[in-house]
Amino acid sequence: MLDYPNLPAEYHQTALKNRKFALDEIYKKTPAPRSKQNKIKVLVPFYNAGQYIEKCVDSILSQDYRDFQVILLDDASTDGAANRLPVGDPRVTLIRNEIRSGAVRNLHRALRDWCDPHDIAVLVDGDDWLANSDALAEIDRFYREYDCWVMYGQFLYSNGTYGICKPYPDREAFSRLRNVWYSSHIKTFRAGLYHKIEEQDPTYSCIKDACGRWYTSACDMAIMYPVMELAGFDRVRYNDTVLYIYNVENPLCSFKLRRDQQLQNNLEIMRKRPFQQTLLETPEMEKGASG
């Protein structure tokens, strides 16, 4: 029903409530959730995001969650936006490129150099923003209560339209992960999963095109497919709560400027070799080993 065009608002809300009820039945909470909060690293790649980068950063710094850091990845912007960012805030780190290298290359560096394996990496595009002040707290809650390694959520487009994210209902559907794209925004995962890519793909070809160049579009898909496959069905969770606003007003959006290239990259990524599920050491496992 949610895919049906022009679905009346009352039916849309009913369908959402029914799906939420089904998810509560499918997703079983861990018997003993961790009491200690997770450390969250919010990674924000941007290029000439203008006024939107300030709105993005404000939405992050206004979170009511305490244990987080923001890594701002300025891909050689020329609009001066970086000069207006609150770099004096101890929660904020700004990394600036002299030469453009693309969002996926910047995220790769941040995930490898700035994130510990137990950190929850939260990816937010510099022209988008978090939907509410408890978004990070909701992410932390999900990881603690469901002991997941990947959590992707739901979003609204900036024009108010409901997003496209969906849950994988069972293992069979999850086994066909690369046939569909459900995990658009918000994207979160244990950084250690990304580090594990190197064991099966030492050159990180999963986030590079057929010529060995870092993808400059379809970056979400290039990163999320590998980490979800590495995590496996039981460690991937979908959160039906709207946590993210996807900005469709920015004229520099990839889907506006490079739509054909984006679609080509999408197909190429879907055809790549899938990853085998891995074992990730988590804070819970460490606690058990020490006890």
Counting the structural domains of the chain, the total is 2
Same domain, 165 and 264: yes
Same domain, 1 and 139: no
Task: Confirm whether pTM is higher than 0.85.
Answer: yes
Report pLDDT digits (tens) over 83-97: 889 999 999 999 999
Report pLDDT digits (tens) over 88-136: 999 999 999 989 999 999 999 999 999 999 999 999 999 999 999 999 9
Same domain, 16 and 50: no
Q: How confident is the model at residue 34 (pLDDT cuts 50, 70, 90)?
A: confident
Question: Which of 83, 153, 125, 96 has the alpha carbon at shortest distance from 250?
Answer: 125
Same domain, 11 and 52: no
User: Sheet holding 150-157: strands in order across?
Assistant: 92-96, 68-74, 40-46, 120-123, 187-190, 150-157, 236-246, 129-130
Spatial contact of 107 and 43, defined as CB atoms under 8 Å apart: yes
Mean pLDDT over the full length of the chain: 90
pLDDT for position 289? 41
DSSP per position, 21-82: HHHHHHSPPPSS--SSPPPEEEEEEESS-THHHHHHHHHHHT-S--SEEEEEEE-S-SSSGG
Same domain, 65 and 166: yes
